[in-house]
Chain A
Amino acid sequence: METNFIHPSLILIIGALLLPLVKEPFRKIYLCVVPLVTFLNVLYLNWHPGTYGVVTFMGDWTLTFGRVDNLSMIFAFIMSLMAIIGTVYGLHVKDDVQHIAAWFYVSGSLGVIYSGDYLVLFLFWELMAFASTFLIWFNKDAGSLAAGYRYLLVHTFGGVLLLLGFVLRYQTTGDLSFVQLDEQNTQLFTWLIMAGLMLNAAVPPLHSWLPDAYSKATVTGAVFMCAFTTKTAVYTLARAFAGFEILIVLGVIMAIYGIIYAMMENDIRRLLGWEIVSQVGYMVAGVGIGTALAINGTCAHAFAHILYKGLLFMAAGAVIHATGKSKFTDLGGLYRKMPNTLFFLVIGGISVSAFPFFSGFVSKSMIITASFESHLMVAGFLLTMVSIGTFLVAGLRLPYLIFFGDDRCSQETKDAAVDPPWNMHMAMAAAAFLCLLIGSYLPFLYNMLPYQEATYHPYSGYHLSETLQILAFTAVAFIFLKDKLGARPTISLDLDWFYRLGGRGFLWLATNPIQWLDTAWGTAYRVVGLYTLMTTAKFSAWFDWHGIDGVVDGSAGCVKAIGQRVALVFQRGHIQQTIYYSITFAAILLISYVWL
């Protein structure tokens, strides 16, 4: 059967461009229909795997826009599904450009997932970075503009690393196709490409942009951002770097690093950002392990993660949307005011903490099991420890500090705190339902995994007992030690210190030595340059006055004198004589023209 290939990104891009033309009452319907059509298109493509959209570019480059295979299918599915949920969550936003930026961002992600070569990948990669920057800039809070610039600069740096990598690879191998790289024969370009992709996955030391940017984005923008950039990067790592052992080490470091910073954090969305770093650490480690089960686990965890992290960001966004506060030190004891938000936050929290029957239980354990099966005991135990930390932070600390415990709210915060509008409720309910569905009805997720031959059964007695012990005793430890994890009005220094203070150093350089040089240059210019210029100008004025004007005035005087003489001879006031002279002159001209 002939398959009609329409790139899902194209639908979103055209839909975004037409959005300003659509007015209420059709606008809300339109906002739902465009991502829905994109999702249906992705479903259609998932039923017809193959390679589409292959075009020849500038003679000898082959670009592939549509590689639909086992790995891209599951990622495209969850990305387009999240686009619907995210758009419904932001349905109340009147500002068209926010929706346009979000849709361009999603189309970038889908484009990367379906791309078959580095040129197309790079095109959509940059589209993602560029579009998502606007999701930060649209936030009116103090610091968002600067955070957006930092985000853009860091991602431009990552993009340049990626570009350098694949151009070097093209020079060496003459190949642009985006496929698994050879671990045995690594070269400079391998590491450059890996670093470029890892920056988007927020792998330390290239991770600081994530909590920085996500905490400064708009409420709805953060819901989009938490899903797409890192998980698209995980997809690209799984595509090109499966089985690279360094990723196991980096992934485990990342998981621990993220959870430690999340435990210290005072800002809700920064905490969730650190949680992303930690959870993506599992996925990066899974890519590094590289076995069929580990890659399945990575895909499953990315799938589950997008939904529960989206849910957590949506619930956190609902709190910020209502109260305008994002710090634990300004919140607390709000459960009476926002009970539904509490409910959804807890669903997200217990999904990320791997409660039985929720999504984390069936996805995270796959990666941990894969590491034990590959005899990576240390990695397995450390990842389990992080999973304990995850429950401490997202399942207990987060809801406790917002909704229970000491009331640190001001009177305005308390008055403003209400459950969010209906569209936010709907989006959160959909994500919560999917978290439950994934955890309770295994075929929904497991039938989409890339390696169907690698089977995994999460609901074994042993796994249940292990999980219940972990959850119960983490809760016990939290009850006794929760004061140590209380709300503190601090920020935590991280590796962004280097470029933030590096930036300040550059500013100092600019304001001091470079400014001095500029001033000195300005003075020198005034003294030497301006004097010379004035002297030259004076000379040319004199020359103009006396030389050129003299010539012009002289010739003008001459013409005037001749004219007067001529007029005295010819213009005596007799019309006949004037006509006679004129006609004679014309006749002489005519005759000379004919004969000569």
Chain B
Amino acid sequence: MIVNLIDYLKERLRTVKLLSGIAVAIMVVWTVVGVDTHHAHTWMEAHIPGFWSIFTLLSCIVLIFFVRWFGKSGIMTREDYYGD
């Protein structure tokens, strides 16, 4: 059942991507227009539309690129480094 579902979705990857994109777009519109930001923790959240979307994208980029740089700086090393 699970395998069939995954294969079904994989065969229609383009449609899945399109629908997901539309869903994300609707969600963003809803968060900008429809959500009461009265209970937001900070000023930025209440006044920057889609604050958490921007924050998320920036965080991902910062995290991923920092990890690549950090790993390449010598932290990621060969598997037999400790001799086992």
Contact = CB atoms under 8 A, between A and B. Distances in A.
A binds B: yes
A481 B60 contact: yes
A389 B6 contact: no
Contacts of B36: 461-462
Nearest to A262: B67
A259 B63 contact: yes
Interface residues of A, number: 49
Nearest to B57: A473
Contacts of A470: 52, 55-56
B52 A469 contact: yes
Contact of A489 (B27, B41, B65, B79): B79
Contact of A372 (B42, B65, B66, B84): B42
A465 B63 contact: no
Nearest to B80: A491
A591 B36 CA distance: 127
A456 to B, nearest CB: 12
A472 B24 contact: yes
Interface in A452-484: 460-462, 465-466, 468-470, 472-474, 476-478, 481, 484
B18 interface: no
A465 B35 contact: yes
Q: How large is the interface on B (under 10, 10 to 19, 20 to 34, 35 or more residues)?
A: 35 or more
Contact of A481 (B3, B37, B64, B78): B64
Nearest to A373: B41
Interface in A355-378: 369, 372-373, 377
Is chain B's interface secondary structure helix, strand, loop, or mixed overall?
helix
Nearest to B68: A484
A473 B68 CA distance: 20
A485 B64 contact: yes
A343 B2 CA distance: 8
Contacts of A343: 2
A3 interface: no
A491 B2 CA distance: 33
A312 to B, nearest CB: 18
Question: Which of B3, B27, B63 counts the most chain A CB atoms within 10 A?
Answer: B63
Contact of B27 (A377, A388, A469, A481): A469
Given A264-B71, A492-B76, A377 B60 contact: no
Contacts of A469: 27-28, 31, 50, 52-53, 56
B77 A260 contact: no
B66 A260 contact: yes
B56 A473 contact: yes
B67 to A, nearest CB: 5
Interface stretch (A162-170, A201-209, A334-342, A581-589): A334-342
A263 B67 contact: yes
A468 B28 CA distance: 9
A500 B82 contact: yes
Contact of A143 (B2, B31, B67, B84): B84
Nearest to B17: A479
Nearest to A473: B56
A335 B6 contact: yes
A490 interface: yes
B15 interface: no
Interface string A410-433: 000000000000000000000000
Nearest to B4: A339
Contacts of B67: 260, 263-264, 484-485
Contacts of A373: 41
Contacts of B77: 490-493
B40 to A, nearest CB: 6
Contacts of B60: 388, 392, 473-474, 477-478, 481
Given A462-B35, A465-B35, A490-B79, 17 more contacts: A264-B76, A266-B79, A369-B41, A381-B55, A385-B55, A388-B56, A460-B39, A462-B36, A468-B27, A468-B31, A469-B28, A470-B56, A472-B23, A472-B28, A481-B64, A491-B76, A491-B82
18 contacts: A142-B84, A259-B63, A335-B3, A339-B3, A384-B59, A385-B55, A388-B56, A392-B60, A392-B64, A462-B37, A465-B31, A465-B52, A466-B52, A469-B31, A477-B60, A484-B67, A484-B68, A493-B76
Interface of A: 142-143, 146, 259-260, 263-264, 266, 335-336, 339-340, 342-343, 369, 372-373, 377, 380-381, 384-385, 388-389, 392, 460-462, 465-466, 468-470, 472-474, 476-478, 481, 484-485, 488-493, 500
The 6 closest A-B pairs by CB, nearest first: A477-B60, A372-B41, A339-B2, A473-B56, A469-B52, A465-B31
